[in-house]
Chain A
Amino acid sequence: MGRILIVDDTMFMRTLLKNILFSGGHDIVGEAADGAEAVAKYQELKPDLVTMDIVMPKVNGIEALKAIRATDPSAKVIMCTAVGQEQMVKLAVKSGAKGYIVKPFQAPKVLEEVKNVLSA
């Protein structure tokens, strides 16, 4: 099971995701509320996987993804997205995202994606 960093600007979403990931036996090593914090926490915690919200204040998820991948090309980042954000997710995939989960989150799908990306 993986050590995961959750990035989202709302505590609501982070809690939701945290509980899903916990139920899948994962370890949440940290949380970040915006892209800048995400990059800093990544360096500090070196998690196995990051769940990254796209729309966030200050530094958005895609910029944060690029910054993380620039320091660690093997970083595994899953984008948290919503219907209608296809273009942004594609941009993220081109920037090195390894997976995506769609809001509203469904626990089995989230866990499947996390498992697959971790084992890749």
Chain B
Amino acid sequence: MFDEEVYRKLFVEESRENHENIVNNLLALESGEDQQTAIDEIFRSAHTLKGMAASMGFDAMEHLCHSMEDVFSLIRNGGLEVSPSLTDLLLTCTDVIEGMLDAIEAGENPSDEQSGPLVQELMAFAEEGSPVEDLIPPSPTSPPEPPREPSREVGGSPVYRMKVAVDPTSTMKDVRAMLLLQNLEDIGKIRSTTPSRDKIEDGIFDGTFEVVVESDAGEDALRTIASGTELSLLALSPLESYLAAESMDAHEPVETPESPRAPAPQVQKTARPEKIREIKNIRVDIERLDRMMNLVEDLVINRGRLEQIAKKHGIKEFDEALSMIGRSVSDLQNLMMGIRMMPLERIFNRFPRVVRDVANHDGKEVEFIVEGGETELDRSMMDGLSDPLLHIIRNAVNHGIETPEARKAAGKPVKGLVRLTARRDKDNVIINVEDDGAGIDPEKLRKKAVEKGFLTPEAAASATKDELIALLFEPGFSTSDVINDISGRGVGLDVVKKTIESLKGTIKVESEPGRGTKFELVLPPTMAIIDVMMVRINGRRCAIPVSNVVEVAHAKPEAIHRIGNSDAILLRDQTLPLYRLEDMFGRAEKGDTLIVLQNDGRRCCIVVDYVDGQQEVVVKPLSRIAGYCRGISGVTIPGDGDVVPVLDVNTMI
């Protein structure tokens, strides 16, 4: 009936939205928030999912959603109470739905292997509840039902007896019959029906029924109405005697008024000039956006090339045209960046469920607060950010928040608090995950650092709290051997850090024993196009993000001192570590220009031959063949076609 692939994507996308809506509202229901809204929302989403799944022919999913809808229909009408076991079951259902959506996205048709037993369980719950009619509660403002009798009195009009059959395949034959009666009332007055109208409208008839109707509209109009969808007219005959018998109660005959649906407005309607329609929103495939972004990047690169050519030739007209192009390209680029931004909600929405599950598993009580979900980030970063955040949040509940008993003993509220916040700084997006749990004990870290050989006993003894906490991000620092509250903090945190760094972000931890822990992630809102300073080191070009550059200075040899294994420079009463980047670029014969770099409040210097200028470039990630190169965040291709590495200052300092 339709090209399935065309719909599959749309189906998956909208189903995921509805799936998420169910999960979040189940959690809201459990937390005792606005119950009615949550129930209505779940019902609506389950209903929507059912309808879409049925349209796609995914029977297993349709049945599961249908059962969920049935249960919520009962809950909504007060026929069933929401119990913890029911919530668990429903959440399991959402997990299965998610799995089904994954399968559908991969082009499969999900089986009912997992959903079958769940449907049984849901049905058992539904049977427990008392059946209540599935009705939309009438809103208080809705007007009273219009009277069944037509307002005008029909008198002296011809009366007809008609026999009508409803197609046996009709899904709702009662509604079909009801529509027919309603339509007849629009053009006349129903005198009687066999069986009674109530019975017909309740579907208690064998497929055919008789109507005696009084109407001026004529036989043809009656015929049209009676041969509507799923209807067939078996017989139609004028009934003179009926009129004679009943005409006594007909009062003064009214001039036959036109039927409410007179043809006049119809004509007017078709004659009305077509209004120009405006489509205000469209959905675009992410892949197409990515392709567009690549094209914009190519434009930026080629603009750079053109600028270099222009410089060589100095043609005034060419320069003017180029500056116009330059502006357009910048505008286009900004626009594209904006289009690619997505609210963080897209990934935040799945976390409440995670918190609930981990807390339930550990027997903890946790309140999870999410703020700033509307903060936007480039979508290319969204995917990468999801797992690290998930990890940190899971850890916060699993290892940060104490058991209710421990919290009570410590004089804290029994319910722990995990807060996920996002906000936009001047240049960055800042995401915090805070908990009011046990915090990280530096003494335990100190002990562990020595045990694991990360620090010598002497170094450990003199290590500051920040230095000790920094160890958490070292690969292999934490293992599964459990030392109560801090044990898991280090699990995978090195991977988290690496991922955040690959997104050009930084991660920081602050912790106060007994008070809690705070992870701070600072990310650039977008990473594809940045302003860089081009420098030469040992004759080779290198790009440094301008946001990391504090100043450019002249290096006086007498200011450089050797401290231990490394160099440092005294610059305006400040001692800064000095790097020559020899391992990356080879030893430079002469280099007397200093670039002072800064990241997250910390500074260092590098020595370069000279500064080549500043320009906007597109940073392309290193290919998988090159792998991860510490110190290099990617490469860029300036106008002349050269491939230039971009320095990753975050990992240098």
* A interface residue numbers (CB < 8 A to B): 3, 9-13, 15-16, 19, 29-30, 44-46, 48, 54-57, 60, 62-63, 66, 73-74, 81-91, 93-95, 97-100, 102-107, 109, 112-113, 116, 119-120
Separation of A95 and B142 alpha carbons in the complex (Å): 10
Separation of A10 and B48 alpha carbons in the complex (Å): 8
Stretch at the interface among B49-57, B235-243, B348-356, B548-556: B49-57
* B610 at the binding interface (Cβ < 8 Å): no
CB contact list, B1-37 vs A, under 8 A: 1-2, 6-7, 10-11, 14-15, 18
Q: Which residues of B contact A13 (CB under 8 A)?
A: 51-52, 55
With A46-B272, A48-B269, A103-B55 as known contacts, state yes or no: A88 contacts B135, CB within 8 Å.
Answer: yes
Having A12-B15, A16-B7, one finds 11 other A-B pairs with CB under 8 Å, namely: A11-B283, A55-B48, A62-B136, A81-B172, A84-B70, A88-B136, A90-B201, A91-B136, A94-B145, A102-B172, A120-B183
Per a CB cutoff under 8 Å, which of A10, A56, A74, A104 touches B14? A10
Contact (Cβ within 8 A) A102 B171: yes
Q: Which residues of B contact A106 (CB under 8 A)?
A: 1
Q: Which residues of B contact A85 (CB under 8 A)?
A: 134
Query: Which 8 pairs across A and B sit closest by C-beta, in order of nearness?
Result: A104-B54, A104-B55, A103-B51, A102-B171, A113-B229, A116-B228, A12-B10, A55-B47
Majority secondary structure, A binding face = mixed
* B44 at the binding interface (Cβ < 8 Å): yes
Stretch at the interface among B173-181, B316-324, B447-455, B561-569: B173-181
Q: Which residues of A contact B201 (CB under 8 A)?
A: 90
With A103-B55, A116-B228 as known contacts, state yes or no: A86 contacts B174, CB within 8 Å.
Answer: yes
Contact (Cβ within 8 A) A82 B136: no
Total chain B interface residues with beta-carbon distance under 8 A = 54
Separation of A104 and B94 alpha carbons in the complex (Å): 22
Separation of A84 and B136 alpha carbons in the complex (Å): 13
Contact (Cβ within 8 A) B225 A120: yes
CB distance from B48 to the nearest CB of A (A): 6
With A12-B10, A90-B178, A91-B135 as known contacts, state yes or no: A119 contacts B143, CB within 8 Å.
Answer: no
* B139 at the binding interface (Cβ < 8 Å): yes
For B11, the closest partner residue in chain A by CB is A12
Per a CB cutoff under 8 Å, which of B1, B44, B224 touches A55? B44
* B426 at the binding interface (Cβ < 8 Å): no
Contact (Cβ within 8 A) A120 B228: yes
For A85, the closest partner residue in chain B by CB is B134
Contact (Cβ within 8 A) A82 B277: no
* B601 at the binding interface (Cβ < 8 Å): no
10 A–B contacts from the bound complex (CB under 8 Å): A13-B52, A29-B275, A44-B275, A60-B136, A84-B134, A88-B136, A90-B175, A98-B183, A103-B55, A120-B261
Q: Which residues of B contact A74 (CB under 8 A)?
A: 260-261, 265
For A59, the closest partner residue in chain B by CB is B139
CB distance from B467 to the nearest CB of A (A): 52
Q: Which residues of B contact A62 (CB under 8 A)?
A: 136
Separation of A57 and B136 alpha carbons in the complex (Å): 13
Q: Which residues of B contact A54 (CB under 8 A)?
A: 136
1/0 contact trace for B169-204 toward A, CB 8 Å?
001101100110011000000000000000001000
Q: Which residues of B contact A99 (CB under 8 A)?
A: 179, 228-229
Per a CB cutoff under 8 Å, which of A3, A11, A83, A93 touches B182? A93
Q: Which residues of A contact B55 (CB under 8 A)?
A: 12-13, 16, 103-105
* B613 at the binding interface (Cβ < 8 Å): no
Q: Name the residue among A29, A30, A86, A89 with the largest chain B CB count within 10 angstroms.
A: A86
CB contact list, B51-96 vs A, under 8 A: 51-52, 54-55, 57, 66, 69-70
Per a CB cutoff under 8 Å, which of A57, A97, A102, A109 touches B44? A57
